[in-house]
Structure 1
Amino acid sequence: MAGDDAHSDVLNQDAQGRLRTIVERIERLEQEKAEVMEQIKEVFSEAKGAGFDVKILRKVVRLRKQDRAKRQEEEAILDLYLSAIGEI
């Protein structure tokens, strides 16, 4: 392509090589991410087949990622708000 020559002048050989390496690493990581996501999906399917509630499992995983103090603070605020509107 005619524009390729103009663009290759902007980055020197080293920068072009480095850029290519970075893009290829990102592509590999994206592929690995897709594979891991598929494995996670399979585990949730397995859990569902064993009678576990997948929605609750996702919530458990999300909560375990949080700092315990932060989670307790959020739960206290949630309880306060629910109490304030008469839901507790």
Structure 2
Amino acid sequence: MTKPTSIAPDVIRSFIERIERQEEEKKALSEDIKDIFAEAKSSGFDVKVLREIIKMRKMEEHERQEKEALIDLYAHALGMSRG
């Protein structure tokens, strides 16, 4: 990698400040999500199950079906009935 001969401080500062703002927004969003999970838990919902459903909703249908089939297969192999 070659060493730059000159550095534009304004450009670097702009990148850094933009990244810092995004990091602040990301932290705020993360805290908001945490609050929503706490609210759901206080309403009697199982947060682990909610997280799993969120993960599953991000999957394509065929991926979800494959995962569920594998879970059924492994559970059956262990003598566990999944209804």
Q: Same fold (TM over 0.5)?
A: yes
Take 2:56 and 2:22, find their aligned partners in 1: how far apart are those partners?
26
The TM-score normalised by the length of structure 2 is 0.77
RMSD: 2.0
Same amino acid, percent of matched pairs: 44
* 1:42 equivalenced with 2:39 (yes/no): no
Distance 1:19 1:40, change over 3 A: same
Structure 1 residue ranges, 4+ long, deviating more than 4 angstroms after superposition: none
Bigger CA radius of gyration: 1
User: Which is richer in helix?
Assistant: 1
Gaps of 5+ in 1: 1-8
Take 2:4 and 2:56, find their aligned partners in 1: how far apart are those partners?
47
* 1:12 equivalenced with 2:6 (yes/no): yes
The count of residues paired between Structure 1 and Structure 2 equals 79
* 1:60 equivalenced with 2:53 (yes/no): yes
